[in-house]
């Protein structure tokens, strides 16, 4: 892949992508609420429940969907964010858009989340990328014969970037063609601070996260850590007093540094789409500032003027994030160079997809 400019591959103009919010989802907070909670879920065809085993006896729940017509395309694996599931609105909408484009889709639930909880004795965290790698290795060869593209939102985006950095060449891994990360916490400490500073969304996320962690009949969460989980008054405190010691990190600072997706970006050797919103109320766009983008030739950074956290609901039928992800996956499926696939993602974000005219089934 040729080295791009500071903001992406050659031919991609630098600067923010314009954004016109779809009423009534005006502003970053409403965009975020629409992405995380909605009364109308995107319709999906019937799926098949899979359980993907992990090395310690736990297993991840996943839902597999096949497109209407076999297109011999890579499998798209979609990964939710903090306290999320396969049924989060943003994830269902992405699945709908990719199925329409002919991609088989696997909606994956992380360890300890609601759908995986019955077979979990531990919990995910933003650096536990080995769970994603184990899940991919557990997929039947016929399912991944055309390769895999992984897309993650928020915490799932961080895991997707770390997966590409850490596990690409491991034995038994299917061909990982590229990853997409939507609103990932590139700098974990900054993201935790941003979440804690948001009195509405931050308190709600902490409450849901605490409830989710404590609901798992965990082997690795002794009573003193359960007490710390119940006592934590911020996400930063929760990660420092519960997650870091639980998983063997000597401190919160070490936990954040060793699992910092920003540090992985220069090492990526497959295309990576990075989509961020300037008005994200949870993950500050300032987390992009410390990255030397000229040292990250495999990464396309798209910063959108609006969209909130994982929202991107503009005035087209499909959201901007679905269009960008769909174009990125189509570019990789067609065997284009990484640079061409990333350029396609940029163009997809800027214009409505040609597939939209034929459908009216997207959630409003």
At residue 363, the pLDDT reads 36
Which residue did the predictor score with more confidence, 4 or 239? 239
Residue, of 45 and 2, whose pLDDT is higher: 45
Decide: 236 and 192 in contact? Cβ < 8 Å: yes
pLDDT band at 68 (very low <50, low <70, confident <90, very high): confident
pTM: 0.91
Q: What is the pLDDT of residue 209?
A: 98
Helices assigned H by DSSP within the chain: 28-36, 89-100, 129-137, 155-166, 188-197, 201-215, 223-231, 235-238, 244-246, 252-258, 261-264, 320-333, 338-350
How much of the chain, in percent, has pLDDT values that exceed 70? Answer: 91
pLDDT recorded at residue 9: 36
Average pLDDT over residues 26-48: 91
* Topology (CATH) of 28-194+261-341: Rossmann fold (3.40.50)
Is residue 337 very low, low, confident or very high in pLDDT (cuts 50, 70, 90)?
A: low
Q: What was the pLDDT predicted at 336?
A: 58
Q: Confidence band (pLDDT; 50, 70, 90) for 334?
A: confident
The answer on pLDDT for 154 being more than 90 is yes
Higher model confidence: residue 15 or residue 53? 53
Q: Is pLDDT above 70 for 356?
A: no
50 token code pair: 């899979």
Mean pLDDT of 303-308: 97
Q: Binning pLDDT at 50, 70 and 90, where does residue 1 land?
A: very low
């Amino acid at each position: 892949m040729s080295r791009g400019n500071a903001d992406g591959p050659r031919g991609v103009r630098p600067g923010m992508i314009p954004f016109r919010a779809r009423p009534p989802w005006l502003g970053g907070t409403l965009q975020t609420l629409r992405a995380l909670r909605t009364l109308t879920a995107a319709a999906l065809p019937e799926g098949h429940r899979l359980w993907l085993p992990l090395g310690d006896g736990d297993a991840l729940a996943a839902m597999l969907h096949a497109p209407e017509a076999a297109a011999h395309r890579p499998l798209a694996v979609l990964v939710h964010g903090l306290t999320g599931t396969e049924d989060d609105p943003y994830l269902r909408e992405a699945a709908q858009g990719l199925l329409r484009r002919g991609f088989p889709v696997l909606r994956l639930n992380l360890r300890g989340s609601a759908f995986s909880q019955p077979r979990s004795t531990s919990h995910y965290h933003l650096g536990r990328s080995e769970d994603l790698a184990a899940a991919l290795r557990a997929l039947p060869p016929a399912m991944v014969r055309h390769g895999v593209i992984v897309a993650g939102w928020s915490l799932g985006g961080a895991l997707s970037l770390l997966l590409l950095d850490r596990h690409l060449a491991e034995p038994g891994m299917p061909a990982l063609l590229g990853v997409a990360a939507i609103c990932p916490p590139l700098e974990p400490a900054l993201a935790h601070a941003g979440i804690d500073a948001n009195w509405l969304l931050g308190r709600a996320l902490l409450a849901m996260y605490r409830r989710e962690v404590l609901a798992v009949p965990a082997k690795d969460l002794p009573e003193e850590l359960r007490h710390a989980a119940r006592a934590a008054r911020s996400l930063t405190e929760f990660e420092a007093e519960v997650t870091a010691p639980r998983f063997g990190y000597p401190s919160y600072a070490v936990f954040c540094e060793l699992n910092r997706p920003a540090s992985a970006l220069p090492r990526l050797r497959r295309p990576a789409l990075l989509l961020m919103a300037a008005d994200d109320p949870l993950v500050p766009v300032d987390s992009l500032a410390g990255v030397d983008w000229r040292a990250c030739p495999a990464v396309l950074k798209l910063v959108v003027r609006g969209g909130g956290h994982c929202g991107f609901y503009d005035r087209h039928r499909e959201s901007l994030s679905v269009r960008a992800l769909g174009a990125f996956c189509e570019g990789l499926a067609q065997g284009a160079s990484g640079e061409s696939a990333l350029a396609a993602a940029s163009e997809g974000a800027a214009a409505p997809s040609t597939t939209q005219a034929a459908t009216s089934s997207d959630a409003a």
